């Protein structure tokens, strides 16, 4: 990919002379590109002084890598290395903790507990409602509280499991993933430490402001309080369950921004896809999007809605479609998005015999980076020791090779090693087991081929072709989403799924769905009629391809 120049309202966002800029960027409007071009502008104009850096914050490793790729396109590798720090929130929090842990009375920067350790500890402490108690503990940790204050709150609330779990963490010199941001928040409240970072970072870019928790918002504000640019879309806020607080963050940003710029031209999607996206977003009050170059899309793009008798029929149709697309367009990316993993059980079974092997984004061993890491470090592990000891040795070797602040990869490696244990047994060797897993040398954020994912994992990504499956009432919207705020969030989830598509969008629903409790009739989502109306008529050739009834 080569660097491109801003167009339309992007020019205002990129070249704004203001110190505090808020950009409203609906899906496909070139948000990541705007951030990269804004970075280039801030460096070229001298806003970021020699010897100082620009900070770019994202939420996930995928989003971080995507933004870094765009920054390299605009600035080149050398300039990015010299002047830009790109990190996700847990990564930057880990760096802060490693450098300044003594500020809050922690003698050493403890390691993050592996998911398996947490599960075993909770089982060992086991009591009725233990998951609820641990969830309550995680909620408590989203506030700027010291360990002593957390123990006092847990004791007052009678959360005995939470107290004992915290004691086990301390005895093992471990912390939880969620502790990283809490500790960083506490450290940055030290004026001396905060000033060190604010002097170091001359400017800051923050991606997806609508997903910020109050804790993350404070961390960002204390890292850099000038020359900031926040980019996001209030209509794509779908992480309230994870602590996102757009109702607090967005009004505060709007109050402090010197300028607010809205983008309305889509550089991602075809006109056919945008017709569906606009139909879904209209009731949310979002600005309708238009294609940057509508004539550039063959036939205006594709958008079709297909009904099936059963989820098994739906799965067969989707696999037939994705096999066809993968063979006809080998360089294209194809996303199959299902709101929840249980709803795609029939699809997962059908993919076991598909021509094209998909990458499941929620299965760590199907993540190319993790596969490459475990394959590399599996070499040379002794094969004459028990299999579980081989896996433990593999984990130790990989972890030693990962930067200490890359906590997301560290967690993924831990989960990968647990899954390797499930694939193998005594008599196997780790080296032979990991050979079974697919690898890819693609450096793109998303490699060509078929990808299966849920709505929340896919946020911020894009695919040439997208299938949104399982559009039934009870699934989307979820049967428990009955209040107005909950239904609005479900609409935003739907919008996120639809807006991942570039060339073509395919929507599916099934009249009978099987789950662990049996087979049940279902009806199309209450939003299906609106979406179906916005789609193109399904031509006979498309119906045959998708094995539609």
All residues at 6 or more sequence positions from 41 whose CB lies less than 8 Å from its CB, including other chains: 14, 15
> Residue 508: phi, psi to the nearest 5?
-135, 150
What is the torsional sign of CA 200, 5, 497, 457? negative
CA distance 334 to 449: 6
Which of helix, strand or coil describes residue 152? helix
Report the pLDDT averaged over residues 519-534. 97
Report the pLDDT averaged over residues 406-423. 82
All residues at 6 or more sequence positions from 342 whose CB lies less than 8 Å from its CB, including other chains: 515, 516
Better-predicted residue by pLDDT, 389 or 240: 389
The answer as to whether 494 is a domain residue is yes
> Residue 509: phi, psi to the nearest 5?
-145, 150
pLDDT for the residue 107: 79
Cis check: omega of the bond before 477, within 30 degrees of 0: yes
Residues 376 and 403 in one domain: yes
Residues 393 and 524 in one domain: no
Report the pLDDT averaged over residues 256-278. 95
In our burial notation (b when 16+ CB lie closer than 10 A, e otherwise), range 325-356 reads: bbeeeeebbbbbbbbeeebbbbbeebbeebeb
Residues 276 and 359 in one domain: yes
Residues 295 and 345 in one domain: yes
Residues 450 and 358 in one domain: yes
Q: pLDDT tens digit string along 428-487?
A: 789 888 876 755 544 456 889 999 998 887 777 889 999 999 999 999 999 999 999 889
For residue 118, pLDDT over 60 is answered with yes
pLDDT for the residue 429: 87
Q: pLDDT tens digit string along 201-225?
A: 999 999 999 999 999 999 999 999 9
For residue 124, pLDDT over 50 is answered with yes
- Is the distance from CB of 270 to CB of 297 less than 8 angstroms? yes
The answer as to whether 540 is a domain residue is yes
Q: In terms of DSSP bridges, do strands 302-310 and 501-515 run parallel, antiparallel, or are they unpaired?
A: parallel
pLDDT band at 1 (very low <50, low <70, confident <90, very high): very low
CA distance 119 to 110: 19
Where are any strands of DSSP class E within 34-95? Answer: 53-58, 84-88
Residues 379 and 525 in one domain: no
Residues 372 and 486 in one domain: no
- Which among 402, 436, 470 is the end of a domain? 436
Task: Locate 284 and state its tokens.
Answer: 């949310």
Q: pLDDT tens digit string along 30-41?
A: 899 999 999 999
CATH number at residue 45: 3.40.50.300
DSSP string for residues in 345-378: HHHHHHHTT-SSPPEETTSGGGSHHHHHHHHHHH
Q: Is 10 exposed, middle or buried (0-12, 13-18, 19+ CB in 10 A)?
A: buried
The answer as to whether 387 is a domain residue is yes
- Which among 390, 407, 436 is the end of a domain? 436
pLDDT for the residue 223: 98
Report the pLDDT averaged over residues 414-433. 80
Residues 275 and 313 in one domain: yes
Residues 408 and 542 in one domain: no
Measured in Å, how far apart are the chain's first and last C-alpha atoms? 41
DSSP string for residues in 309-357: EEHHHHHHHHHHHHHHHHHH-TT-EEEEEESSSGGGHHHHHHHTT-SSP
- Is the distance from CB of 56 to CB of 32 less than 8 angstroms? no
Residues 69 and 158 in one domain: no
All residues at 6 or more sequence positions from 347 whose CB lies less than 8 Å from its CB, including other chains: 311, 314, 315, 318, 319, 336, 338, 452, 469
- CA 548 to chain CA centroid, Å, is 32
Report the pLDDT averaged over residues 9-22. 96
Better-predicted residue by pLDDT, 264 or 1: 264
- Is the distance from CB of 373 to CB of 401 less than 8 angstroms? yes
Domain residues for the domain of 350 are 271-363+446-546
Total domains in the chain come to 4
The answer as to whether 54 is a domain residue is yes
Better-predicted residue by pLDDT, 376 or 419: 376
CA distance 36 to 33: 5
The answer as to whether 103 is a domain residue is no
**CB atoms inside a 10 Å sphere around CB 394:** 23
Which pTM was predicted? 0.77
pLDDT for the residue 536: 96
Q: pLDDT tens digit string along 177-210?
A: 889 999 999 999 999 999 999 999 999 999 999 9
CA distance 1 to 3: 7
The answer as to whether 68 is a domain residue is yes
pLDDT for the residue 2: 53
At residue 273's C-alpha, the angle toward residues 271 and 65, to 5°, is 110
Residues 133 and 251 in one domain: no
- Is the distance from CB of 308 to CB of 548 less than 8 angstroms? yes
For residue 329, pLDDT over 60 is answered with yes
The answer as to whether 441 is a domain residue is no
Better-predicted residue by pLDDT, 129 or 170: 170
Residue that is written with structure tokens 């073509």 in the block: 504
At residue 505's C-alpha, the angle toward residues 502 and 508, to 5°, is 155
- Is the distance from CB of 137 to CB of 165 less than 8 angstroms? yes
The answer as to whether 178 is a domain residue is no
Which of helix, strand or coil describes residue 88? strand
- Which among 436, 461, 488 is the end of a domain? 436
pLDDT for the residue 112: 85
pLDDT for the residue 62: 77
Which of helix, strand or coil describes residue 222? helix
> Chain-wide mean pLDDT for the chain?
90
Residues 454 and 329 in one domain: yes
pLDDT for the residue 441: 45
pLDDT band at 75 (very low <50, low <70, confident <90, very high): very high
CA distance 484 to 489: 9
pLDDT for the residue 415: 81
């Amino acid at each position: 990919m080569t660097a491109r120049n801003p167009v339309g309202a992007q020019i205002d966002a990129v070249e704004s002379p203001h110190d505090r800029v808020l950009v409203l960027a609906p899906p496909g409007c070139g948000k990541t590109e705007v951030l990269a071009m804004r970075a280039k502008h801030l460096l070229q104009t001298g806003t970021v002084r020699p010897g100082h850096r620009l900070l770019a914050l994202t939420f996930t490793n995928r989003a971080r890598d995507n933004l870094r790729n765009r920054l390299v396109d605009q600035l080149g590798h050398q300039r990015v290395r010299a002047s830009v720090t790109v990190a996700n929130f847990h990564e930057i929090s880990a760096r802060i903790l490693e450098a300044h842990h003594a500020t809050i009375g922690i003698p050493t920067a403890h390691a993050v507990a592996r998911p398996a350790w947490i599960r075993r500890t909770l089982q060992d402490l086991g009591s009725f409602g233990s998951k609820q108690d641990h969830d309550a503990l995680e909620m408590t940790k989203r506030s700027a509280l010291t360990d002593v204050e957390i123990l006092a709150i847990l004791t007052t609330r009678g959360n005995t499991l939470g107290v004992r779990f915290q004691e086990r963490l301390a005895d093992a010199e471990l912390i939880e993933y969620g502790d990283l941001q809490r500790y960083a928040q506490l450290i940055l409240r030290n004026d001396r430490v905060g000033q060190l970072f604010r002097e170091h970072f001359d400017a800051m870019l923050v991606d997806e402001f609508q997903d910020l928790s109050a804790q993350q918002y404070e961390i960002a504000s204390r890292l850099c309080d000038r020359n900031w640019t926040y980019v996001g879309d209030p209509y794509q806020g779908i992480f309230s369950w994870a602590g996102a607080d757009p109702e607090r963050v967005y009004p505060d940003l709007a109050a402090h921004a010197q300028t607010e710029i809205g983008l309305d031209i889509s550089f991602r999607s075809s006109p056919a896809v945008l017709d569906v996206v606009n139909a879904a977003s209209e009731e949310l009050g979002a600005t309708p999007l238009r294609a940057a170059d509508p004539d550039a899309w063959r036939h205006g793009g594709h958008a079709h809605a297909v009904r099936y008798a059963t989820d098994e029929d739906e799965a067969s149709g989707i696999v037939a479609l994705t096999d066809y697309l993968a063979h006809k367009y080998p360089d294209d990316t194809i996303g199959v998005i299902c709101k929840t993993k249980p709803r795609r059980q029939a699809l997962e079974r059908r993919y076991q015999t598909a021509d094209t092997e998909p990458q499941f984004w929620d299965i760590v061993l199907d993540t190319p980076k993790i596969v490459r890491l475990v394959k590399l470090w599996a070499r040379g592990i002794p094969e004459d020791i028990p299999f579980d000891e081989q896996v433990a040795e593999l984990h130790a070797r990989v972890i030693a090779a990962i930067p200490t602040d890359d906590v997301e990869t560290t967690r993924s490696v831990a989960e990968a090693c647990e899954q390797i244990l499930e694939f193998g047994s005594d008599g196997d060797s780790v080296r032979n087991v990991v050979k079974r897993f697919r690898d890819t040398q693609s450096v793109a954020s998303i490699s060509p081929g078929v990808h299966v994912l849920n709505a929340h994992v896919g946020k911020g990504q894009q695919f040439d072709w997208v299938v949104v499956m399982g559009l039934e009432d009870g699934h989307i919207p979820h049967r428990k989403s009955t209040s107005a705020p909950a239904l609005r969030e479900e609409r935003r989830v739907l919008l996120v799924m639809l807006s991942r598509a570039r060339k073509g969008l395919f929507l599916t629903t099934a009249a009978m769905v099987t789950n662990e409790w049996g087979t049940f009739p279902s009806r199309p989502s209450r939003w299906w009629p609106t979406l179906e109306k916005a789609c193109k008529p399904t031509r006979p050739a498309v119906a045959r391809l998708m094995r539609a009834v």
